Amino acid sequence: MTYKSILITGGAGFVGSHLTENLLAEGCQVTIVDDLSTGNWSNIEHLDKHPNLRVLIAPVEDRALLEQEVPRHDLVYHLASAVGVKLIIEQPVKTVETIFRGTDIVLNACSRYRRPVLITSTSEVYGKSTNLPFREEDDVVMGPTEKRRWAYACAKALDEFLALAHFAESRLPVFIVRLFNTVGPRQTGQYGMVLPTFVSQALSNRPVTVYGDGKQQRCFCSVFDIVEGLKKLPQNPEAMGHVVNLGSQEEISIEGLAQRVIELTGSESKIEYIPYEKAYAKGFDDMQRRVPDTSRAKQFIDWNPKYSLDDIIRQVTDYYQTRQQDAS
Ligand SMILES: NC(=O)c1ccc[n+]([C@@H]2O[C@H](COP(=O)([O-])OP(=O)(O)OC[C@H]3O[C@@H](n4cnc5c(N)ncnc54)[C@H](O)[C@@H]3O)[C@@H](O)[C@H]2O)c1
């Protein structure tokens, strides 16, 4: 890693905690800014006494704190965000405000002190496009503003515009990553994430709850592969000012995922189908398929995911089983 001192907003979250752990293992100094809204102290508890880690429990919207911390570091990862379909539908104001205001404050501090910054955006930005696989320069097809789900996608798209505007106006070194479904140990099912929900349902032999008809397809990528991409990208100046997809191209239907989880966990669970109207408050809209084109990631950082879906399901299962043992 060419950067030695790194600030991570959202570092106590799922992706952020793995990134933190990996960078500490490389000998970097890491500071986390996280308000623990969707993240959890338990994600970083094992790193608490690490001599190269500082943890600041604070909102990313704390402008004075960001102005103080950004110049002390030579790279900023901005991961703090409202996340998860359930949270986004239930707390639409917080979603838009956290995403847009937080990113604005981070970018302004990075601009003032000229610090490179990587922002995590999302495959949701492609909206309802059916032009697969999704390429970064493709048109996006957004749903109506009356359907709350699209607030997340629009706010993240606005973050991308703002970051690219800083790059265009002052050559601020910005890197933008669109993450596709990222999964692995420490992800919580609390905010609507599918894999941790399925694994914990299967491990306790409860019904595995599939929303809709389960024919919608997704590609799941290991957080360990994503962290490698997040580390490599800001080390290549050619990636500066670009949007880059990171995700797996291995597609599976949600119904197929449920079956695979039941099989690999040796569960006696049955699948239960729940209509979207029952699963979510009014304002939900879904898309059938989402597959990334990863040519840019290959071109810039020679990136390819290494873990298969079965590997990931086993890792998540081990994680939940260990936690159950810890708790008992
Ligand atoms: N996990 C995925 O599948 C996925 C997919 C697409 C994009 N992303 C993006 O990756 C990033 C990380 O997501 P994650 O899956 O690790 O989610 P997460 O919820 O585990 O992590 C987000 C972290 O940000 C913190 N946070 C939220 N609002 C904050 C605020 N106002 N101030 C300070 N901290 C705040 C949370 O406490 C949490 O620790 C997010 O930007 C998300 O939009 C994730």
- 259-300 pLDDT, tens digit per residue, is 999 999 999 999 999 987 777 666 566 788 999 999 999 999
Q: Whose CA is nearest to atom 2 of ligand 1?
A: 182
Q: Which residues fall within 8 angstroms of residue 89, CB to CB, at 6 or more apart?
A: 148, 149, 280, 281, 283, 284
pLDDT-derived band at 326 (thresholds 50, 70, 90) equals: low
Residues with CB under 6 Å of ligand 1 are 9-10, 12-16, 33-39, 59-61, 79-81, 83, 98, 102, 120, 122, 179, 181-182
Q: How far is the CA of 8 from the centre of ligand 1 (A)?
A: 11
Q: How many CB atoms lie within 10 A of CB 197?
A: 19
pLDDT in the model for residue 214: 95
Kindly state which CATH superfamily the domain 5-182+222-248+291-307 is placed in.
Answer: NAD(P)-binding Rossmann-like Domain (3.40.50.720)
pLDDT tens string 81-139: 998 777 888 888 988 999 999 999 999 999 999 999 999 999 999 999 999 999 999 99
Q: CB–CB of 127/152 below 8 Å?
A: no
Give how far Cα 232 sits from Cα of 36, 190, 226, 297, 303, Å: 27, 30, 10, 10, 9
70 vs 72: CA distance, rounded Å? 5
- 152 has catalytic annotation: yes
221 vs 144: CA distance, rounded Å? 29
Q: Is 303 exposed, middle or buried (0-12, 13-18, 19+ CB in 10 A)?
A: buried
Q: Is 146 exposed, middle or buried (0-12, 13-18, 19+ CB in 10 A)?
A: exposed
- Peptide bond preceding 133 in cis form (omega within 30 of 0): yes
Q: Is 104 exposed, middle or buried (0-12, 13-18, 19+ CB in 10 A)?
A: middle
- For 228, list phi and psi in degrees, rounded to 5: -60, -45
Q: How far is the CA of 270 from the centre of ligand 1 (A)?
A: 31
Residue spans of beta strands (DSSP E) within 43-116: 53-57, 75-78
β-pairing, 208-211 vs 243-246, is unpaired
Please count the residues of the chain. Answer: 328
